[in-house]
Amino acid sequence: MDKTTNQKAWFLVLPVLVLVAFSAVIPLMTVVNYSVQDTFGNNVFFWAGLEWFEQALSSDRLWAAFGRQIMFSAIILTIQIPLGIFVALNMPKKGFWASFCLVVMALPLLIPFNVVGTIWQIFGRVDIGLLGHTLDAMGIDYNYTNDVLDAWITVIVMDVWHWTSLVALLAYAGLQSIPEAYYQAAKIDQASRWKVFRYIELPKMQGVLLIAILLRFMDSFMIYTEPFVVTGGGPGNATTFLSIDLVKMAIGQFDLGPAAAFSIMYFLVILLVSWVFYTVMTNLDKREGF
């Protein structure tokens, strides 16, 4: 029997489309309009053509921020993904402690971003913060406000503390979905712990891990609040990531045109990476028939 296809259900999506139009599409169009003009306020605009794009592409400041951003995301992913998997592998599978671990792991995820920033801002202070004071008492010269390396370490440890649980929870969900029979078969074959991980657990976690990588990449690539609260982008420009620089440009200096051109390029990079991840994910799903 032929299945009739009816696409009318798509009309049910209309309310969402209207909402998205107001919250995303129209503001984005406005940004595109800004990016080719200059303004001195009062809603008066002058045509500037592609000048802002040219300026942004040859701006050392933006490329430096871009480099820092890539480095930050790369470090975050290299730490959080393996650490999250490691934590998930060592979490209890059932019983009271399984639920207990899940709740404890979920706690950092529930804290608002600016509060996370404030917690670490105080935690790292040498005069009143537990971490800063302890390190100081141990004779370690730690000060995130004037040492570049210390600032980077603080921001990265903070992000690891905040977001590793997400990777761990996703990996844990992936692990829980593996039927017991796989492990029994591995036992019969006398597979080592490493081989069980490499040939059973890792392939079965592939889907969720890709989602974890995508989420962590996008979040870390767009990070703003936490480093802004902790270091304010400093010392100097050492932890000024793309969005911090963007806000400085748009709201601090009120350079709407350059900031708009810059955010379009920022958006394009994120769109490209998301598309690549999405395509890889859906193709993996099709191949494996999940």
Partner 1 sequence: MDWMAWTWPTAAFFATIAVLLVTFTVLAIRYPETPRTGILRIETTRGDRLFITLLGSAFINLAWLGLIDAPQPWAMGVCLLYAAAVFRWV
Binding site for partner 1 (CB under 8 A): 7, 26, 29-30, 32-34, 36-37, 39, 43, 45, 47, 50, 53-54, 57-58, 265, 268, 271-272, 275, 279, 283, 286
Shortest Å distance, C-beta 237 to partner 1: 22
Question: Closer to partner 1 at the Cβ: 64 or 272?
Answer: 272
Which of 234, 212, 81, 63 lies closest to 155, judged by CA? 234
Per DSSP, the three-state class of 6 is coil
Shortest Å distance, C-beta 68 to partner 1: 20
Strands 37-39 and 45-47: antiparallel
Shortest Å distance, C-beta 30 to partner 1: 5
Per DSSP, the three-state class of 236 is coil
Which helix (H) or strand (E) is 45 found in, with range? Answer: strand 45-47
Shortest Å distance, C-beta 250 to partner 1: 14
Per DSSP, the three-state class of 279 is helix
Question: Closer to partner 1 at the Cβ: 191 or 273?
Answer: 273
Question: Closer to partner 1 at the Cβ: 251 or 272?
Answer: 272
> What's the start-to-end Cα distance of the chain, in Å?
26
Question: Closer to partner 1 at the Cβ: 16 or 107?
Answer: 16
Which of 104, 77, 233 lies closest to 165, judged by CA? 104
Question: Closer to partner 1 at the Cβ: 223 or 242?
Answer: 242
Shortest Å distance, C-beta 264 to partner 1: 8
Rounded to whole angstroms, the Cα distance separating 83 from 129 reads 26
Shortest Å distance, C-beta 262 to partner 1: 12
Question: Closer to partner 1 at the Cβ: 71 or 268?
Answer: 268
Shortest Å distance, C-beta 70 to partner 1: 17
Judge if the upstream peptide bond of residue 108 is cis by omega within 30 degrees of 0.
no
Question: Closer to partner 1 at the Cβ: 131 or 270?
Answer: 270
Shortest Å distance, C-beta 29 to partner 1: 6
Judge if the upstream peptide bond of residue 82 is cis by omega within 30 degrees of 0.
no
How many C-beta atoms surround the C-beta of residue 28 within 10 A? 14
- Radius of gyration for the chain, computed over Cα atoms and rounded to the nearest angstrom: 24
For residue 212, the one-letter residue type is A
Question: Closer to partner 1 at the Cβ: 18 or 272?
Answer: 272
Can you list the positions of beta strands (E) in the chain?
Answer: 37-39, 45-47
Rounded to whole angstroms, the Cα distance separating 144 from 198 reads 39
